[in-house]
Structure 1
């Protein structure tokens, strides 16, 4: 029997396809005129949105006599001045109002996020009889105008002795059905396998919620927190109704009362609006990435 000899083999080299850069991948693009028209429309909308803000800033830098001059001038003859800001900042109660607004907004934000996240996780993971009905009733709260609840809430706060207190200002602002809906949609997308693996290791529901679900939801929690903070900071109607003590007034309520005591002074009105909105601009500039990411990943678990 003839011996079988192994034939010499040469290594076979696999030819790799050249990698394409992302720019080289063909993509479907709109025609140039469509993109130009879209950019033009967005620019016009942005200018229309910025026009009132620019007018408020310019008016706040004018003297009171120049704000009512006819015809209206963009640049006054006497030049710009900071007199309106000096008048507002010279108010001794301004710091107190600012502190009150900060305390109320921060406490409302923390408690609202905690309550909404707990409720949303319960609706997302807990199975019980009547869950869908209860969730539908919760979401139905979005359709109830807040103005309808003013009288019942005011009478309830009076019965509990919470008028002219921080608790009376804060408690009615903790209800946020829309935030419960947003957080539930996000929790629905969190993989169940992560929780099942944690249960195998002996973790309870509270530990899973605090150490697994919440860390995975940092982006959406940050977005919800900022939305709630902005709403609590700008809230005027309820603090105006429930408080009469000057030491408990929030910034929007206090600034309006200063204007009413001195009559309509347009420069100071615009200066007060700029001062009241400045903290919100700072918050948005610091956390704009979290806001955009949270809104973009709503309903996508694990992002």
Structure 2
């Protein structure tokens, strides 16, 4: 009589995480609580300076200068915003910032995409040396280029023009390198199939590579737009006409002309950041998706 064998007990396997699921410390209620608590604490730490700036901007200078650690020391007032709007041409400065940031973003993305595709797929002589120079340019601080760039703008008689503000900002070696690394991971078989069908090199880039690179292109455009909008030093140096100043520079001239005032400074900073906040609120899902998927390219 043969002995009966006990069937092996099935092993308990942890549930497979679905794609796009949030990263947790484990499964169960405790890891979720810990992760949620950590996120709330980090969000509070990140939002504290922003809340402090808002609280400072809606009080009087006398109340803000009073001793104490509480950000709410006096009565609510919008006098600081009213003074800035009365003394400065905010709509013109906001239009200049939008125009400059938009043109810088369009030209930078176009130039960086073409350069990155050339480095990724090109076989021209000197490619490695030129790529090394591009990567080395990432380590050059922009402040070192202010004097030669300003002399160049003087040579071409471009000071106090939109071109002087825009052109030096469209050269972005970091964006070229990021796009090049992503293009390296795009399957070459798709490009070869398009070439067999008679597609030109530009057609391959436009119809094959770019549709597969939408996340990284969107992320690059977002970063370039934010950098161009917040750029203060170069527009401050190269523009003297108030009608050409972008918003950060124009608000700084209003604030500086009336001395150091904490309330006006906070109000100016919030006015300069308000358009970016609105853009983020409308496109937050696209921004998060773009930044989260930038690591999917080849290495």
TM-score by length of 2: 0.86
Alignment correspondent of 2:160:
164
- Match of 1:129, SS state, is coil
Structure 1 Cα separation of the partners of residues 38 and 140 of structure 2: 35
Structure 1 Cα separation of the partners of residues 282 and 181 of structure 2: 26
**Larger CA deviation: 200-209 vs 231-240:** 200-209
Structure 2 counterparts to residues 171-210 of structure 1, below 5 A:
171-210=167-206
Structure 1 Cα separation of the partners of residues 35 and 135 of structure 2: 35
Q: C-alpha displacement at 1:116, in angstroms?
A: 0.4
Asked if 2 retains the 8 angstrom alpha-carbon contact of 1:220 and 1:293, the reply is: no
Alpha carbons of structure 1 residues 294 and 26: separation in structure 2 relative to 1, 3 Å: closer
- Match of 1:262, SS state, is coil
Structure 2 Cα separation of the partners of residues 134 and 73 of structure 1: 55
Structure 2 counterparts to residues 63-78 of structure 1, below 5 A:
63-77=60-74
Q: C-alpha displacement at 1:42, in angstroms?
A: 4.0
Structure 2 counterparts to residues 148-297 of structure 1, below 5 A:
148-297=144-293
Alignment correspondent of 1:49:
46
Q: How many residues align?
A: 279
Structure 2 Cα separation of the partners of residues 154 and 173 of structure 1: 13
Asked if 2 retains the 8 angstrom alpha-carbon contact of 1:187 and 1:299, the reply is: no
Does residue 119 (structure 1) correspond to residue 109 (structure 2)? The answer is no
Structure 2 Cα separation of the partners of residues 26 and 229 of structure 1: 39
TM-score by length of 1: 0.85
Asked if 1 retains the 8 angstrom alpha-carbon contact of 2:215 and 2:294, the reply is: no
Alignment correspondent of 1:139:
135
Alignment correspondent of 1:18:
none
Asked if 1 retains the 8 angstrom alpha-carbon contact of 2:219 and 2:294, the reply is: no
* Structure 1 residue runs without a partner (length 5+): 1-22
Asked if 1 retains the 8 angstrom alpha-carbon contact of 2:88 and 2:251, the reply is: no
Alignment correspondent of 2:56:
59
Structure 2 Cα separation of the partners of residues 75 and 297 of structure 1: 41
Structure 2 Cα separation of the partners of residues 263 and 128 of structure 1: 56
* Structure 2 residue runs without a partner (length 5+): 1-12, 18-23
Asked if 2 retains the 8 angstrom alpha-carbon contact of 1:185 and 1:298, the reply is: no
Q: C-alpha displacement at 1:107, in angstroms?
A: 0.4
Structure 2 Cα separation of the partners of residues 253 and 92 of structure 1: 11
Structure 2 counterparts to residues 9-28 of structure 1, below 5 A:
25=15
CA RMSD, 1 decimal: 2.3
Asked if 2 retains the 8 angstrom alpha-carbon contact of 1:164 and 1:244, the reply is: yes
Q: Deviations over 1:161-199 (max 9, x none)?
A: 111111011111111111111111111121112111111
Asked if 1 retains the 8 angstrom alpha-carbon contact of 2:25 and 2:35, the reply is: no
| Correspondence for 2:95 among 77, 99, 102 | 99
